[in-house]
């Protein structure tokens, strides 16, 4: 169970870092630039803790898939990014893939 908490924290930190990357305006703003560095450092640290007990392929698939979906939703909500039908379908496929990994694959519980 602890690896799932570490993975969730890694995902949230990565999303914070990526959102701050947009706000950093090419690293020309100090606050968001520091948030990028801190967010990514924390994300990789917690991802490394996750990898102690979870296979790297599964952890990375979940980390990147959920991260992409969350970043896209944040970009839509706060940065005005338009989402057309193919984008929405693609996001749903990503989420479906994460669900399939977690619900149906025995690989997730192997280390």
In the chain, the number of structural domains is 1
**How far is Cα 81 from Cα 74, in angstroms, rounded to an integer?**
9
Domain residues for the domain of 91 are: 2-109
| Residue-wise pLDDT tens digits, 8-44 | 999 999 999 999 999 999 999 999 999 999 999 999 9
- Over residues 36-55, the mean pLDDT reads 96
3-state secondary structure 55-110: CHHHHHHHHHHHHHHHHHHHHHHHCCCCCCHHHHHHHHHHHHHHHHHHHHCCHHHC
- Calpha distance 94→25 (Å, rounded): 28
């Amino acid at each position: 169970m602890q690896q799932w908490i570490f993975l969730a924290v890694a995902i949230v930190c990565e999303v914070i870092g990526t959102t701050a990357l947009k706000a950093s305006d090419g690293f020309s703003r100090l606050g968001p630039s520091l948030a990028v560095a801190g967010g990514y450092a924390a994300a990789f640290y917690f991802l490394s803790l996750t990898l102690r007990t979870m296979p790297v392929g599964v952890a990375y698939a979940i980390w990147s898939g959920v991260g992409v979906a969350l970043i896209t939703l944040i970009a839509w909500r706060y940065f005005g990014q338009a989402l057309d039908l193919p984008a929405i379908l693609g996001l749903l496929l990503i989420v479906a893939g994460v669900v399939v990994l977690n619900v149906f694959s025995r690989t997730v519980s192997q280390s």
